[in-house]
Amino acid sequence: MDIQTKTQHFSSPLYLESGRILEPYEIRYETYGKLDDDKRNVILICHALSGSHHAAGTYDGDRKAGWWDGLIGDGKAIDTSRYFVISSNVVGSCFGSTGPMSEKYPSEERYRLKFPVVTIKDMIRAQMHLLSSLGIYHLRAIVGGSMGGMQALQFAVDYPNLADDIISLAATYATRPWTIAFNKVAVEAIRRDSRFENGNYAIDAFVEDGLDGLAIGRIAGHISYLSPHSMDDKFSRNYVGNDGLFELFGRYEVERYMEYNTDNFSKTFDPLSYLYIVKAINTYNLARGYDSLYDAILRIKARVHLISFSSDYLFFPSEMEHIHKMMIRNGQSCSYSEIESDYGHDAFLVELHKFEDEIRDILD
């Protein structure tokens, strides 16, 4: 599989939903496969909160492959021997696209908390500019999970003639208070960490030791991505072998797992980017800008395929089913699958074998 990573620079302004302007800006993106002469074999991949443009394959020195490597590649469900696949990093992220730690042109000063709030609508508008710069005006499909699924649905509403198929996994039509409350733990933990310094920390301040506030906030997020069943299966009530049961800070295996994963995450993900992307998730509402959710969904012309997971406690299956019922009542093309899973929200990243054939069939 041919993998290429590039950065596209835009000098024209990106007009944001808030009324502010981002100018200039950059988008980091990755491509796989070969573009047909008529440019009609393109699939766009949209990533989740902690994801990036690196969705598949490995680079020299990589310890693990891209976050959806099991789904994207030659002969896989999203077959890169047939399709030209594009995966772009959203604006606001910390993996190459313009974000809060980018330099604010024309000075060398970093945006930090002066970076404008970006929304899901803004993210997809920037991706539309990327596609136009590549001479691509039609997509075979748009595929994404979680925040990526939000982007896929927003594309379907805002740009109804862009794609043949929309495949949205583990998403919703609007972020609900339950999810916003989980996100609040992370936001406050970051803001109240003295080393956060109100966003004025040094660029590489957390590479060695991470930021405790982000690590703690990520624990709350990680709990929301899993399910009680997956934790029972993975950890049971096992205790760390060399920790004493009656030591105050002795740990169960689930506690050690949370520490390890979240500490590592806080060394690689920028806390300002985390705050901005969480804000985009919290403000997501497919109906915003339209008279109602019904009017927004009525705009959709693509074939929509919704996949939810039975134990997802972040975006409940009923939320995706609601979209499906509305589209069916409208006579629009929409399929819906609820996958039986004990892995919670993270099933869209973990249990690929349960839905890869469905995605393959859609694209075939």
Contact assessment for residue 207 and residue 267, using Cβ atoms and an 8 Å cutoff: yes
Q: What percent of the chain has pLDDT over 90?
A: 95
CATH number of 3-175+285-363: 3.40.50.1820
- The arithmetic mean of pLDDT across residues 124-143, rounded, is 98
Tally the C-alpha atoms within 13 A of residue 278's C-alpha that lie toward its C-beta: 23
For CA atoms 290, 295, 301, 303, the dihedral sign is: positive
Share of the chain above pLDDT 70, in %: 100
Tell me: the pLDDT tens digits for 324-337? Answer: 999 999 999 999 99
* 350 burial level (CB within 10 Å; 0-12, 13-18, 19+): middle
- The mean pLDDT value for 100-120 works out to 95
Of 59, 90, 130, 127, residue with least CA distance to 281: 90
Residue 231 · residue 241 · CB < 8 Å = no
Question: Hey, what CATH topology would domain 179-280 get?
Answer: Rna Polymerase Sigma Factor; Chain: A (1.10.1740)
Tens digits of residue pLDDT in 92-103: 999 999 999 999
pLDDT of residue 245: 93
25 pLDDT more than 90: yes
Residue 197 corresponds to which tokens in the numbers above?
């310094």
Q: Which of 79, 193, 212, 312 is catalytic?
A: 312
Q: Given 47, 53, 222, 345, which residue is catalytic?
A: 345
- Residue range 242-289, pLDDT digits in tens: 999 999 999 999 999 999 989 999 999 999 999 999 999 999 999 999
353 is a catalytic site residue: no
Task: Reply yes or no on whether 345 is catalytic.
Answer: yes
Q: How far apart are CA 252 and CA 236, in angstroms?
A: 9
CB-based burial label for 287 (10 Å; 0-12, 13-18, 19+): middle
Outline which parts of the chain fall under CATH 3.40.50.1820: 3-175+285-363
User: What are the phi and psi torsion angles at 260 (to 5°)?
Assistant: -60, -50
What does the alpha-carbon distance between residue 62 and residue 48 come to, in Å, rounded to a whole number?
Answer: 20
Name the pLDDT band for 56 (thresholds 50, 70, 90): very high
- Helix ranges, the chain (H): 120-133, 147-158, 177-191, 212-225, 228-235, 253-268, 271-282, 293-298, 317-329, 347-350, 356-363
Which one of the listed residues 146, 224, 227, 230 is annotated catalytic? 146
Residue type, 257: Y
Instruction: Quote the CA–CA distance of 253 and 233 in Å, as a whole number.
Output: 12
Determine contact, residues 322/292, Cβ cutoff 8 Å: no
Single out the residue of 11, 283, 14 nearest to residue 125, CA to CA.
14
123 Cβ partners below 8 Å, 6+ apart?
A: 90, 91, 92, 151, 280
Report the SS3 class of residue 35.
Answer: coil
d(C-alpha 158, C-alpha 109), whole Å? 34
Token pair for 146: 């979680």
Query: Residue 60 pLDDT > 90, yes or no?
Result: no
CATH 1.10.1740.110 residue ranges for the chain: 179-280
pLDDT of residue 64: 87
What are the structure tokens assigned to 270, written together? Answer: 């920028």
Burial of 162 (0-12, 13-18, 19+ CB in 10 A): buried
- Non-local CB neighbours of 291 within 8 Å, separated by 6+ positions: none
Position 171 confidence tier, pLDDT thresholds 50, 70, 90:
very high
Residue 43 in this model has a pLDDT that exceeds 90: yes
What number is the average pLDDT over the span 78-91? 98
Which pLDDT tens digit goes with each residue over 188-234? 999 999 999 999 999 999 999 999 999 999 999 989 999 999 999 99
Mean pLDDT of all residues in 118-129: 98
Sign (positive or negative) of CA dihedral 64, 262, 350, 29: negative
**What gap in Å lies between CA 263 and CA 211, rounded to an integer?**
8
235 three-class SS: helix
Angle at 143 between CA 140 and CA 146, to 5 degrees: 165
Residue entry with tokens 């709030």? 117
Give the mean pLDDT of the chain: 96
